């Protein structure tokens, strides 16, 4: 039976598509954006998270680990010995304080659907639904497609949040399975795109064009274009290029997602490294100035 690998489910979300939604976060992403708010999503395998603030130094994790990957406590952790990717969960089960947790749980379509259906009345009363996020939900497309189609046949509106880096052959399937596509643009300059995400933007822009052409003028379906606002793409010159690019595609709105640094604690918990960005957040005044650059499309601030 096909299973998905998820690392979180967030209920009653209101920022990732219309109405009240349940967000499902999938593991795995082909991009590696410097500011990724879910850095534990990039790796397509399960990962071990250690929250030092919750640790009571009981050593139960190191005593229970058959691989001796934890020496005394998880501050001394030998990554290449750990078998968490092979399904080992021994230390997290032994931990009495939830200081050790695993990001990456296998789930079936039926199990996930049961969780989603618990809140069907909220979706119905608010025009909400389910949003698959990540990571990149198309990275596990066979599972995600089945899940979304199951939601639709139960009368639940469906959405995905995508970075756009997917096999163009699944474009029609995305159209079939999704009522809403939240499509994130990062940068129009390919060289900068590679520098800040690790991937070229050519396929992303082509996929966007294809999606726009098949979603265009279809009742009850829409594409919402978003752009994470970061110090690499926030120049007036680039933002005006974005405006021109969207108008060419007959898209007249854009959601900006201003950078925030909340992901930094996750980098520590998962022992991940990132190039540091120079700012902690955008001020209200900075966002107002940026919004005023755009004269011909509607800008909203999300996140």
**Site residues, ligand SF4 (CB under 6 A):** 48, 55-61, 65, 67, 69-70, 73-74, 82-84, 88, 90-91, 94-95, 97, 99-100
d(CA 94, CA 81) in angstroms, rounded, equals 18
Smallest distance, ligand SF4 to C-beta of residue 9, A: 22
Smallest distance, ligand SF4 to C-beta of residue 65, A: 3
Smallest distance, ligand SF4 to C-beta of residue 99, A: 4
**Spacing of C-alpha 96 from chain mean position:** 30
Q: Which is nearer to ligand SF4, 22 or 269 (CB)?
A: 269
d(CA 293, CA 241) in angstroms, rounded, equals 11
Smallest distance, ligand SF4 to C-beta of residue 263, A: 22
Q: Which is nearer to ligand SF4, 48 or 225 (CB)?
A: 48
Whether the Cβ atoms of residue 223 and residue 183 lie closer than 8 Å to each other = yes
Q: Which is nearer to ligand SF4, 81 or 191 (CB)?
A: 81
Q: Which is nearer to ligand SF4, 67 or 189 (CB)?
A: 67
Return phi, psi of residue 225, to 5°. -90, 130
Smallest distance, ligand SF4 to C-beta of residue 50, A: 6
d(CA 202, CA 6) in angstroms, rounded, equals 28
Range 269-277 contact pairs with CB under 8 angstroms and sequence separation of 24 or more: 269/40, 269/49, 269/50, 269/51, 270/39, 270/40, 270/47, 270/48, 270/49, 270/103, 271/50, 271/77, 271/79, 272/39, 272/40, 274/34, 274/36, 274/39, 275/34, 277/34, 277/35, 277/230, 277/231
Q: Which is nearer to ligand SF4, 70 or 196 (CB)?
A: 70
Smallest distance, ligand SF4 to C-beta of residue 167, A: 32
Label residues 242-253 b or e (16+ Cβ within 10 Å = b).
Answer: bbeebeeeebee
Q: Which is nearer to ligand SF4, 57 or 213 (CB)?
A: 57
Smallest distance, ligand SF4 to C-beta of residue 95, A: 3
Q: Which is nearer to ligand SF4, 14 or 56 (CB)?
A: 56
């Amino acid at each position: 039976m096909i299973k998905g690998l998820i690392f979180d489910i967030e209920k009653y979300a209101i920022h990732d598509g219309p109405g009240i939604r349940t967000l499902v976060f999938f593991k795995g992403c082909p991009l590696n954006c410097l500011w990724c708010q879910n850095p534990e999503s990039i790796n397509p395998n399960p990962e071990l998270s250690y929250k030092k603030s919750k640790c009571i130094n009981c050593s139960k994790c190191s005593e229970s680990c058959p691989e001796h990957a934890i020496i005394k406590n998880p501050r001394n952790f030998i990554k290449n010995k750990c078998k968490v990717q092979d399904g080992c969960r021994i230390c997290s089960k032994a931990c009495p304080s939830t200081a050790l947790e695993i990001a990456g749980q296998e789930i079936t379509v039926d199990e996930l659907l049961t969780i989603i259906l618990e809140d069907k009345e909220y979706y119905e009363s608010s025009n909400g639904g389910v949003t698959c996020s990540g990571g990149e939900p198309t990275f596990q497309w066979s599972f995600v497609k089945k899940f979304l189609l199951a939601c639709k046949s139960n009368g639940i509106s469906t959405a995905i949040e995508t970075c756009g880096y997917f096999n163009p052959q699944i474009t029609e399937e995305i159209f079939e399975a999704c009522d809403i596509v939240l499509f994130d643009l990062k940068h129009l300059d390919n060289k900068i795109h590679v520098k800040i995400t690790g991937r070229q933007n050519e396929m992303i822009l082509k996929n966007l064009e294809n999606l726009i052409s098949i979603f265009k003028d279809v009742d009850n379906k829409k594409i919402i274009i978003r752009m994470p606002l970061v110090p690499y793409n926030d120049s007036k010159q680039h933002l005006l290029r974005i405006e021109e690019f969207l108008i060419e595609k007959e898209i007249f709105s854009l959601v900006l997602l201003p950078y925030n640094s909340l992901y930094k604690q996750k980098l520590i918990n998962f022992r991940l490294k990132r190039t540091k960005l120079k700012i902690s957040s955008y001020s209200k005044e900075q966002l107002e100035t940026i919004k005023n650059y755009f004269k011909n499309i509607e800008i909203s601030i999300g996140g």
